A and B are shown apart, each in its own frame.
Chain A
């Protein structure tokens, strides 16, 4: 499983756009990139997943360059409730899905008023 590297923490203010970049230099051809959000004392929550280029859903966008060695999670106009830890994971979905998820350190995002 490809190892990921993220900033330990980030600070932002309400209404700003937040971009969290994740490095995964050893990503394999079959690996997908998935981001999870975790609030204190709760289980992680799926945010977005992608393979290449750009993916957008109702809560975030995921930008993946052509070499796929990094990815950027973009949160538009964050609010206080976006304060959480964000995890970037890479793994091979394959025919039977992710065999297992290995969580890195994550990025602790603090949104202030």
Chain B
């Protein structure tokens, strides 16, 4: 099946710094990628939808200036958490959808962000 990777898998940073998380589709082209956030014992919450070459569409309540999303190619999307604070500590998961498998989203393994 299609594989989506995320890097890094785990990151610890100081409050006020920015953190970039990469999401890559390894064996397919992803026209659309999605970013989710998941707090402990809770469900996944969709943050934004990004289409290659265009601006991301953010869900209500998600600050686009704080969570910068770039989808510059058909295999890579990045999420940058700017000026991270402890409340941004969470599990960030991306997913990707390809044209050839339009009825399925493939999820990455997630990135655990801890802000001290």
Contact = CB atoms under 8 A, between A and B. Distances in A.
Interface of A: 32, 34, 36, 38, 41-46, 49, 87, 93, 96-106
Given A34-B104, A93-B103, A97-B103, 12 more contacts: A36-B107, A41-B112, A43-B109, A44-B93, A44-B95, A87-B43, A96-B102, A97-B97, A98-B103, A100-B34, A101-B105, A103-B45
B32 interface: yes
A105 B102 CA distance: 24
Given A41-B112, A106-B43, A101 B104 contact: no
With a 10 A CB-CB cut-off, give which of B34, B97, B103 has the most chain A CB atoms.
B103
A100 B109 contact: no
A98 B105 contact: yes
A101 B107 CA distance: 12
A58 to B, nearest CB: 13
B93 A103 contact: no
